[in-house]
């Protein structure tokens, strides 16, 4: 394990993503990516009496599905890294607690999948664990209730507003084994260009996405063409266009390689999602459900996933603060 450039870490013995598992809600299953999710949900409440409890249950189901697929028990796992959008990451806390696995609760907003894989990979590469689970989740109803308005309010959605994804994705990382390998990571810096509109998260996160992508390319002496795909988390249609524009003005053309899970998740016209998808579960479920399988099948050889997050809270918004953005890049290769 070594540090190169300004902020990138490479792994001499890259951790292996041996298994992955994706769960998605009914709206997500009806979208273009629906057939790739491992566990399609029939309803968003999952038999619970609140949205918050439903998300915790979704986390539990996803982790159990991952363990079953891997043929492992909770006792086999050294640590679990997870987080979500709820206050004090309670979806992860209550979803994980019954497994009795040592737990690191994370908050990177919608960048949490990148943060969890990054930290889990460093833990394994540093010799501190052999098997680690990493992942995240989000729930549309819980997130809207917390960050914007309760659903009963019936507020009109803006054209720039994304739809928070009800989904979860987790991976099992191992010191050895078969599967795609995490060869390098670039932890992101906070980038704040003064955006204050909570209904335009793409604009807040796009600068951070570009900052991290360009840092990774510079540190590793690569170009966008060295990747089969560079995949951002949940910029949506507006944020995607902003990212392409910013990168172009800085001298890097991402138009031929950049994909965004917020654009991939829904059929915006038919499903009424306006600007696409967002939420921690957006890139988590599409990576574990679709891109991971493309790597395993060797249809893709090298990708850079760049989950993006808007580092805000209800308190910061109410106090008129800006929305800082962050993005973490994870290079995954099927060698």
Check if CATH label 3.40.47.40 holds for domain 2-174: yes
The sign of the torsion formed by the CA atoms of 74, 75, 80, 86 equals positive
Question: What is the Cα–Cα distance from 204 to 322, expressed in whole angstroms?
Answer: 9
Antiparallel, parallel or unpaired: β 39-40 and 16-24: parallel
Q: What is the mean pLDDT of residues 226-233?
A: 97
Report the pLDDT averaged over residues 302-325. Answer: 89
Give dist(CA 234, CA 250) in Å, integer.
22
Average confidence (pLDDT) over 298-324 = 90
Domain boundaries, the chain: 2-174, 181-333
Mean pLDDT of 119-136: 98
Tell me the pLDDT tens digit for each residue of 146-168. 666 666 555 666 666 778 899 99
pLDDT digits (tens, 9 = 90+) for 230-272: 999 999 999 999 999 999 999 999 999 999 999 999 998 899 8
How many residues are recorded in the chain?
335
> What's this model's pTM, rounded to 2 decimal places?
0.95
57-81 pLDDT per residue, tens? 999 999 999 999 999 999 999 999 9
Quick one: DSSP state of residue 291?
A: I
- CB neighbourhood size of 112 (10 A): 32
Q: Which CATH superfamily is domain 181-333 in?
A: Stage V sporulation protein AD (3.40.47.40)
Q: Judging by DSSP bridges, how do beta strands 131-138 and 167-174 pair with one another? A: antiparallel
CA distance 221 to 223: 7
């Amino acid at each position: 394990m070594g540090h190169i450039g300004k902020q990138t870490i490479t792994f001499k013995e890259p951790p292996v993503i041996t298994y992955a598992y994706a769960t998605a809600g009914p709206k997500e299953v009806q979208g273009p990516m629906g057939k790739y999710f491992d566990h399609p949900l029939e309803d968003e409440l999952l038999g619970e009496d609140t949205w918050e409890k439903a998300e915790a249950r979704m986390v539990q189901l996803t982790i159990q599905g991952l363990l079953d697929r891997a043929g492992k028990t909770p006792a086999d796992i050294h640590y679990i890294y997870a987080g979500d959008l709820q206050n004090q990451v309670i979806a992860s806390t209550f979803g994980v607690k019954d497994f009795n696995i040592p737990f690191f609760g994370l908050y990177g907003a919608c960048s949490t999948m990148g943060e969890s894989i990054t930290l889990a990979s460093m833990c394994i590469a540093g010799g501190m664990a052999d098997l680690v689970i990493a992942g995240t989740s989000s729930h549309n109803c819980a997130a809207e209730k917390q960050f914007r308005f309760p659903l009963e309010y019936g507020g009109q959605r803006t054209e720039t507003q994304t739809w928070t994804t009800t989904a979860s994705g987790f991976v099992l990382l191992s010191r050895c084994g078969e599967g795609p390998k995490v060869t390098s990571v670039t932890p992101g810096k906070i980038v704040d260009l003064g955006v204050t509109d909570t209904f335009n998260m793409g604009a807040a996160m796009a600068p951070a996405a570009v900052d991290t992508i360009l840092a990774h390319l510079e540190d590793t002496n690569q170009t966008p063409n060295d990747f089969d795909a560079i995949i951002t988390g949940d910029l949506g249609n507006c944020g995607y266009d902003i990212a392409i524009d910013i990168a172009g003005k800085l001298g890097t053309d991402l138009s031929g390689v950049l994909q965004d899970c917020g654009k991939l998740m829904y059929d915006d016209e038919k499903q009424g999602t306006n600007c696409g998808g967002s939420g921690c579960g957006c890139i988590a479920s599409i990576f574990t459900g679709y891109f991971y399988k493309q790597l395993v099948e060797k249809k893709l050889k090298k990708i850079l996933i760049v989950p993006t997050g808007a580092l805000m809270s209800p308190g910061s918004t109410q106090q008129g603060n800006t929305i800082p953005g962050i993005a973490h890049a994870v290079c995954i290769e099927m060698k």
